[in-house]
Amino acid sequence: MTGEESHQDKRAYPSAPLVGVGAVAIKNGKILLIRRAFEPGAGKWSIPGGLVEVGEKLSEACSRETEEETGIKVEILELINVFDMIDRDQDGKIRYHYVLVDFLAKPVGGEERKSEEVTEMAWVDYQQAKQMDLTKTAQKALEELFGGPVV
């Protein structure tokens, strides 16, 4: 089984919503974005993040996931938003259902390196981010933080 298959098997067609976290990490006015290797959103740019583990606080999960995906340690500053991401297949069945909690974060250390879940990483300003092929969830987080639609 490939990394992608095992990743998708755990998350596709869940019996209950999954709780995910994301970090809008900002350094010197630039936002850390990653290009996703796996669904949902494979090939699109997004903010680093992932699933909350049992017994883990939301902020701890956000810090852990950011470091796992990017090598960058972050300090969580504040909540940006909480929202649903529900994706249906062509038959109308729920393929993915996440409750997503996004945080503003500041890098505090670590060394940049990509995990198998990430194909590229980039530090970009908001204007650059608006021109990128972002996931809907990343668009929503950036809109909440910076105000105004990401087109």
Q: What does the pLDDT read at residue 108?
A: 98
DSSP string, 66-86: HHHHHSEEEEEEEEEEEEEEE
- Residue-level pLDDT at 49: 97
Rounded (5°) CA angle 141-145-151: 60
| Residue 6 pLDDT level (bands cut at 50, 70, 90) | very low
What pLDDT was estimated at residue 148?
A: 65
The residue-averaged pLDDT of 137-150 equals: 84
Nearest residue to 36 (alpha-carbon basis) of 114, 88, 110, 130: 114
3-state SS of the chain: helix, strand, coil percent to 5? Answer: 25, 40, 30
Q: How many CB atoms lie within 10 A of CB 133?
A: 11
pLDDT in tens, 58-108: 999 999 999 999 999 999 999 999 999 999 999 999 999 999 999 999 999
Token pair, residue 48, equals: 């680093």
Of residues 6 and 112, more confidence is placed in: 112
18-59 residue pLDDT tens: 999 999 999 999 999 999 999 889 999 999 999 999 999 999
Note whether 142 and 126 are within 8 A (CB). Answer: yes
Domains defined along the chain, listed by start: 3-146 (3.90.79.10)
